[in-house]
Amino acid sequence: MLGRDQFNRHRNNPLFNRLNQSNMAFTATPNFVGVPDFGLIHINPEEVAKAFQTYLDTASRLTGVSLDDINRGVTRIPQDVNNVNLVTLLSYGMKLFDAIVWLTAGRPESHPLQIDPTLTASELPSMHDIARSVFFCYFMLITQARYPVSRSNPDKPKIPNFLRVIMGLDQEQHTYVEKICSFEPQKFDPSWAKFISFRNFGQETLSRFGLGVAGYRMFAPFGLYEPKSDMPARLRPAFDFARAVARANSSWDVHPLTRNPNILKSRGNLNKNLSNLILEVFTDDQINEMVRSKVIFARPEHDPTHRNYQTWDAVDNITGTSIIFRELQQ
- Please report which confidence band the pLDDT of residue 319 belongs to, taking 50, 70 and 90 as the band edges: confident
Q: Where are the beta strands (DSSP E) in 38-82?
A: 73-74
SS3 state of residue 115: strand
Q: Dihedral sign, CA of 248, 252, 256, 262? A: negative
The candidate with the shortest Cα–Cα distance to 255, out of 206, 324, 209, 188, is 324
DSSP string, 196-235: ---TT--HHHHHHHTT--TT-TTTHHHHH-PPPTT--GGG
At CA 51, angle to CA 50 and CA 55, rounded to 5? 105
Among 26-40, 73-87, 306-320, name the most confident range: 73-87
Give the three-state DSSP class for 141: helix
- Rounded mean pLDDT of 280-297? 96
The domain segmentation of the chain, as residue ranges, is 73-123, 127-209, 220-329
Global pTM? 0.81
Relative orientation angle of helices 270-281 and 236-247, to the nearest 10 degrees: 120
**Rg, C-alpha atoms of the chain:** 34
Spatial neighbors of 164 by CB under 8 A, at least 6 apart, are 170
- What is the tens place of the pLDDT at every residue in 36-85? 888 888 888 999 899 989 888 888 877 889 999 999 999 999 999 999 99
Taking residues 296-315, report their average pLDDT: 93
